[in-house]
Chains A and B, each alone.
Chain A
């Protein structure tokens, strides 16, 4: 009883977006796949209101990092905090866009219905989505340029359109920080533009976005912040000071000439 009244006297702040609590603070995160570490001792704080790319070679644990953060994979060690509190208490503030290929697009449902799924978290158990949820879902489809496809069967959408449906669904979650697993993979140019416009729009609204990304060419143009990962965290920071030849060599291994070429290209475009 006394405990309850104390809570009333000092209501917790709803969105703790103060500078002291990062949208994502990861401490000593280790994830093991079979008997090998997939993520080893990663410490990173992702800043608010930035677009952050997670970059690294195949098998570097980029998706694993996201999944471990979201409690979809067991952590061997480490803590994950979202705006200063354990992730489990902050689910409502987190939006997730899984890899497109992770679901069965032959599932008998429509684009609008998939987007509406984004609203389920706020609805909670049992309660059904109503007009408000469907209206929100429709708005979200419109934001990704898919308003005309609302009642389209999801199996009839192209890869890029399916990706945009997934993004619309994340928008419908109305989160503060978004985790996206390779949103640019296998999409057409139109969708790529739509996604990047959307990301910039989210940033403008003060949201934080963390994307697994593997195209080194487009990364500097799209993102403000980078997290270079190869099982261990190689470097994390603002793009310009972190996306260096030295760091890329460490991330991709010294022999990885392609990565270095990309870097040279990046330097040129900066110059």
Chain B
């Protein structure tokens, strides 16, 4: 066995050792979730070298260099100030959801005008208009990390799969009998999943567009879904107040998380899929153990419906956005104690996400602004204002240098 190179993953911080063994190239991944700007890098490198036979004395210096690079990423994303860079105005009607590719070069916007548009972020130019849906394009998604395909979910009861390079529509995914409101590629990029107001979720083969399975069991609308990292499981959040856990190979429901008393607004896995978080109109969020199917913690504190949740990349913090005009950050590992309360919006906070490094929180609100907050102190660092109507969605690029906001005012704004 011979170490060939170190590969870095910035968010969440991690390092991969690429080595050769009997002529084959293999990689070993090491997660460094506890890396912070204050970590002593020399000590950490020492610890890794002691544990990993691949890391010999003569490469420790290289390792230190690599770890410093990772650490630097955690620093610089803290102080960056965002300015409005471009306003994208080509939609005729309000926008719905947005997504950004891994490189931070292109973004996609869904709209009530029945199109999805692909934009070049640098130039602010429209690259493609994906036309074909016969009603509102509500859900949009890239196949991360490749981003050569786009998946759209529409109120016309179908989803469509497109090429992000040519704008060509590969497949129309039929089967749902009501609006498709959430779509996702599996991490391996060979399956896609759709969630619908017809109370079901569906799986399709990406390459052929063929219907693989119907996930039936919810008694009300399914509004949220997420694949696990392995792609073997999928979770679905429903207005029936439950979260389903499904095996994607058998399409059987393996478990049902029951406990919320009203509609689920979102459900997510943390980074290593050891936890599931859910949010509900019952003003609480819950953390679940997917193996035992039990609720570990119920998060209370919001005075109104919780409309969105987000984990940071490391899975150590959970953020909640609420109709009570606040967002809150919770420490996942200390029984979900409150870390920070973000007060300042004057209307419902409808979307929330962390910066990739995890030290900033981005919120979108019906008060026509998006805001950036220090995720540890709850102090508002920036108000992204300029939209003339409700801000419906927002997202960070993977590098943390670009923010996209989409609004009911028919425009999308790029901030850098």
Q: Do A and B bind each other?
A: no
Instruction: Please list the residues of chain A having a beta carbon within 8 angstroms of any beta carbon in chain B.
Output: none
Instruction: Please list the residues of chain B having a beta carbon within 8 angstroms of any beta carbon in chain A.
Output: none
